[in-house]
A and B are shown apart, each in its own frame.
Chain A
Amino acid sequence: MVTQKIMVRICMGTACFVQGGADLLLYGDFLDSELQQRIEVEGVSCLGCCKEHQRGLRPPYVQIGEQLHAEVDQTKFILLIKEALDA
């Protein structure tokens, strides 16, 4: 069975990168290799989320599939990817 890989876009805008987003780029080290094979990771230009800053939300932002997530750290990243793959 061939399943479509899920697109994971990590925001590489300066605001995200300096506030913990850089940590996510180590996904090769902290994410299960089995999970890694099922996703396609891309570092992308500023997603613009920080500009339309909603109160209480802060960088780093990650887009998994169509869904946008704020304040993503390594633990949350793993969890979100598992959720997206199970859905």
Chain B
Amino acid sequence: MVNNEANIDLLFRNGLRDLEVLPPADAWNNILPVIRRKQRPVILLRSAAVAAVLLSISFLAYKWSREFSLTPVNPFSAYENAVQPVDNPLSGRAARQLPFIVNDLTDQRTVIKNAEKKAITVSASEEVIPQHAVEYLEVPDNSMIPENIGIPVLASASTGLRYRTAAIDAGFAKPAEIIYEIPAEKKDRWSLYAGASPDYYMRPGLKNNEVPDQIYRSEQSRISYSGGIGFAYKINRKLSIQSGVYYASIGNEVPGINSFAGFRPFDQTKGDHNFEVVTASGRIYTNNSDVFLRDISADRVLTRYTNDVFDPVKSELSYLSNSLYQNFSYLEMPFILRYKIIDKSIDFNIIGGVAYNFLVSNNVHTVIDGNRYDIGKTEGLNPILVSSSMGMGIEYSITDKFSLNLEPTFRYYLNPFGDVPGVKIHPYSFGVFSGLSFKF
């Protein structure tokens, strides 16, 4: 009888193995439009998301730049003290100097005096001081800057108009040359920084993949963190590149798995592990022979000690918890480009790049009365993850050398955490990195 049953099974299995039947001709025509329709929203959604991020960043950047530009600060005030040093012996004479424009055709000089918006013509015979002498720019707003303050500029900065100094007082035609030092641009190209960030991980759902999706949905991301040190190199005023080494710890909760302690006396097997737990990131293998695991609602726990073989309650094992916690630790090496869009006392940057994450440790534990109880490890994790990141950076200079950084960053993992058939999760995370940087 058994043989006959097996024969029937084999007959159908072998007989139908290579069977091919041409489907109806219109079947493909019904499939294609659906694929097209389903592909389009994904592309549209992604495009919309990227556009939204870019628009938000642009809007924020615009808003910030407006706020800074509307701040009523005299842009020349920094020079006022430099131009009028207390002990400048020429300050009294300089007060009587006014700028004028030389007309190359008529050789007439027009003195610009903003206070009254009048042009005073001076005769061509007036002696003109040579180039490289002190030159003055038109003062734009008389109400803010006293009339007698001159603004020195480099000769090369003039555009079309030739600014020269004229002496109204004929007795003072040729003032002594004064050279003012314009502060050189800082050359702090390198910076070191240290900081940390809490990260919140999110994972997209799995469509049309029932069993893995159930496993996946039953799990919950936990607040994770990352921190480390790095360095940045300023390629030019706007652009810098940064790298470093971070330590990132990612947590995941697998609820619905009851754990018990005290199983060691009952463990009669020689295997290296007694329990396996199927999770979306990989398969947990217990390495603690004292632990007993049981799935409350599904069949995620694979073991020889099934419910009909062993009852932890009857055997008076100590109940620990109903959740397992997976922890994955990575060493992260980012390569980030940073573009400065606002260069003020609070800088505003756009940052983006990739990071290589090397798995350095992983463990699974449960918690009983605030204490960790080790369960085992997750197998099947990808040893190297590549993530892309995009964010905004706000940098506040505390001193010339030190500044505070705040970087809200969105990160997307380009490869999945683990090699679980049917479950390829590309998680994404959001974190706010804050830290301190030192320029040198």
Answer yes or no: do A and B interact: no
Measured CB to CB, the residues of A under 8 A from B are none
- B residues apposed to A, CB below 8 Å: none
